[in-house]
Amino acid sequence: MAAVGRDAAGRALVGAIRSDGVTPHVVRVARARTGRIGVLVEPDGERTFVQDRAAALQLAPTDLKSGWFARADAVHMPIYSLLDEPLGLAGRRAIELGRASGAAVSLDLASIGPLLARGRRAARSLIAEIAPDILFATGSEAEALLGRYAVEGLLDLAMVAVVKRGSKGATVLARDGDRRIRLEVATTPVTAIDTTGAGDAFDAGFLVGWFTSRSSGRSLQASLQRAALAGHRAATRQLTTPRSELVIS
């Protein structure tokens, strides 16, 4: 779900998403250009973003339709979708509509800068207000949010928390009644062509693995393990598959 401008870039992006088998629900905003992002990729595959979100910030709560959330397993969003207005209000409305349909909520901390723009306390309050069922973070994002506290502190904010550690695998945390589970799930190191999107791919793989495992009746610990492995596989495909450029004419 997103907002784009009424321009060639917006049409090309929506077309590219549809060609991947995804159903986009897109609002086209008049007199606003489609958001753009510059990705600077270093020789080791790490990247830095320079963004101009433009029309993306104009998604409003009234743009969302309850039918979009019917039968959804989860509403997933980056922290970006809860910042700025009216987008932040739309993000909250999406969570409300998703939960009304029985969907879980997953949240990715996404980036330290926007996350901590108003300070650590405000960031923690925002996440606590959303109360995600599943919380994703990189190691550096978890450290920025928690300060000197151990990553287990993420379980004060979510029932399941996943700390993505790149080539070092992932730390998966969960609350099971009074018991707290911590798993270290390794991955096979690969040579990255470009790390852009690998974290998002991990989230997608994890969520699919998680819901598939839980619906098949596996235990909580087995479901967490399988979900993390599915996340690693999805991230590996993203890291090692050459991607064509989106050409806008």
Quick: pLDDT tens for 75-90.
999 998 998 889 999 9
> Which distant-in-sequence residues (6+ apart) come within 8 Å of 18 by Cβ?
24
What is the pLDDT averaged over residues 126-151? 94
- pLDDT higher than 90, residue 204: yes
Kindly state which CATH superfamily the domain 62-240 is placed in: Ribokinase (3.40.1190.20)
SS3 of 152, please? helix
SS3 of 97, please? helix
Q: What is the mean pLDDT of the chain?
A: 92
Tens-place pLDDT, residues 214-235? 999 999 999 999 999 999 999 9
Q: What is the 8-class DSSP label of residue 240?
A: H
Q: Which residue has the tokens 């917006």?
A: 10
- pLDDT higher than 90, residue 193: no
Q: Kindly indicate the confidence band of residue 37, based on its pLDDT and cuts at 50, 70 and 90.
A: confident
pLDDT at residue number 46: 66
pLDDT at residue number 25: 96
Q: Where are the domains of the chain?
A: 1-58, 62-240
Q: Up-side HSE of residue 45: CA atoms within 13 Å toward CB?
A: 17
Tens-place pLDDT, residues 4-13? 999 999 999 9
User: What is the DSSP track for 154-204?
Assistant: GGGT-SEEEEE-GGG-EEEEEEETTEEEEEEE-------S--TTHHHHHHH
- pLDDT higher than 70, residue 44: no
Query: Please, is 74 exposed, middle or buried when counting C-beta atoms within 10 Å of its C-beta (0-12, 13-18, 19+)?
Result: middle
What is the pLDDT averaged over residues 43-69? 87
Distances in Å between the Cα of 243 and the Cα atoms of 27, 140, 174, 197, 246 are: 26, 27, 35, 11, 9
Q: Kindly indicate the confidence band of residue 236, based on its pLDDT and cuts at 50, 70 and 90.
A: very high
What is the pLDDT averaged over residues 117-139? 94
pTM of the model: 0.92
Beta bridge partner(s), residue 162: 136, 172
